[in-house]
Amino acid sequence: MTHWLRDISLLLGGQLTSLLGTSIASYAVVWYVTLKTGSGTQYALMIIASQLTMGLMALIGGVWSDRYWRKALIMTADALTALATMGLAIYFLRGHDNLSLIVALLAFRGLMSGVRTPAIGASVPQLVPTERLMRVNSLNGAAQSVIALGAPAIAMVMLIHVPLGLIFIVDATASTLAVLLMILVHLPRVTHEPTPEIVVAAKPTGLRSYTHEMGQAIVTLRSHPGLLRMVAVMAFFVCVVVPVAQMTPVFITRYFGAEPWKLSTGEICWSAGMVAGGLIMMAWGGLRNRSTMITWVAIFWAVMAAAMGASPNLLIFCVVMVLWGASLSMLNASAVTAAQEQVAPSLIGRVMGLINLVLNVSGPIGMAVFGPLSDIFSLRVLCLTVGGAGIVFMLAIRLKSGPAAPLLAPTRDRPRDPEIAPFLG
């Protein structure tokens, strides 16, 4: 096994281990609250607590991942997550039951994810050769989907037979194993070569240093029309379409029944689609113009949102979930790889942090709107509405801006997009 393959296997293997525990606990918590309250507002509050804190922390986490040792950041975030989860596990095992503490834990986990996610996103291109990025990202996405495929069934069995506190202990143990595996990863610190701008002017300190370094990430995005459009498209869909996709447990409960097996079946079908999409992208590699790939997948996403609202029974709903999950896997692989291919290693952490900020703030905004609306209006009507809005949005971008600004994958003859090269040093 080559050196880079060993290191990326340990890095992603540890994170996949942590993801398994997190997924089991997350599904169990969502179903626990959904079955206990049946409230779309309560469900939305959990999503907002997790995503909003992650998005806000991603700004600082992105700067840290370019400034400090990424290995230490990942290990620290996993270790603190394990400690907080273990504390809540002990609380529940002692007979207490407090939904507010669950929300608080989700918020804290969001903060730690805001530190860990940009660091991992920046570490992958640091370890993996550029020509292997799409396949590694696709394989990682497929592996995550396999975990998501099994996690609902495991969560359902555990939620029925064991206390919620024991499920939290499984999650804390998985995070601890991720820390132990990360110790074995050889991930060197990134050396920074100062740009002429930094040489001429004195380097800012304190809070101004954070704003200065994030400003460099903003300049990088603005200088590349393809990346900027990609972020705009994904922000819209995360704000408008994703909240509907995240309401699937509530949708199933209202229209097909509140049995736990039905909830797990919907999640399993979604995850099966994501596995299929990841494997397709790993074998295919996607379109060389990542922007075109993202555009067509986004349109398909909007169609699937409408199809969810029109699903007459659980069988058709599950078919929609498979197709929707496959498209999500393709969208994630294309977007993450596009950013990693276009941005220099010394800036990738901040750019990934900025992208995570936009997406993770857009999500809670959407959930804050659609959560209460789901308690007032029919979820079927909401699905049809946001699906139509997504199609109109993509057509409007196409008509106004013309063909998608290219995000071309590097080749031997063209290692880097010349439009962004001056900003990367």
> How far, in Å, CA of 407 to CA of 337, rounded?
10
pLDDT of residue 169: 94
pLDDT in tens, 261-302: 888 788 888 888 988 998 898 888 888 888 888 888 999 989
Please state the CATH superfamily assignment of the domain spanning residues 3-186+204-424 in this structure: MFS general substrate transporter like domains (1.20.1250.20)
> How far, in Å, CA of 252 to CA of 318, rounded?
10
For every residue of 150-196, DSSP letters joined together read HHHHHHHHHHHHS-HHHHHHHHHHHHHHHHHHHHT---PPPP-PPPH
Q: Is the CB of residue 303 less than 8 Å from the CB of residue 355?
A: no
> How far, in Å, CA of 303 to CA of 56, rounded?
30
Q: Which residues contact 367 (CB under 8 A, 6 or more apart)?
A: 44, 47, 48, 51, 243, 246
pLDDT in tens, 212-268: 888 888 888 888 888 888 888 988 988 888 888 888 888 999 999 888 788 878 888
Q: Where are the domains of the chain?
A: 3-186+204-424
> How far, in Å, CA of 236 to CA of 273, rounded?
22
Indicate left, alpha or beta for 402 from its phi (over 0: left) and psi (-120 to 50: alpha): left
Q: How far is CA 208 from CA 48, 213, 260, in A?
A: 29, 9, 51
pTM for this structure?
0.73
pLDDT of residue 201: 47
Point out which residues pair with 289 in neighbouring strands: 408
**Per-residue pLDDT tens digits of the chain, which is 425 residues long:** 568 899 999 999 999 999 899 888 888 887 787 777 766 677 777 777 777 788 778 878 988 998 899 999 999 999 999 999 999 899 888 887 777 888 888 889 889 988 998 899 889 999 998 888 888 998 988 888 788 777 877 888 888 888 888 999 999 999 999 999 999 999 988 765 554 444 444 556 666 777 888 888 888 888 888 888 888 898 898 888 888 888 888 899 999 988 878 887 888 888 889 889 988 988 888 888 888 888 889 999 899 999 999 999 999 999 999 999 999 889 888 888 888 888 887 788 888 888 877 877 787 788 778 878 888 889 999 999 999 999 999 888 777 655 555 666 665 554 444 433 333 32
Point out which residues pair with 408 in neighbouring strands: 289
- Tokens 């101004």 correspond to what residue? 208
> How far, in Å, CA of 382 to CA of 416, rounded?
42
HSE-CB at 204 with a 13 A cutoff on CA atoms is 12
What stretch of H or E contains 228? helix 225-240
Q: Which residues contact 334 (CB under 8 A, 6 or more apart)?
A: 281, 286, 290, 293, 294, 297
> How far, in Å, CA of 27 to CA of 153, rounded?
9
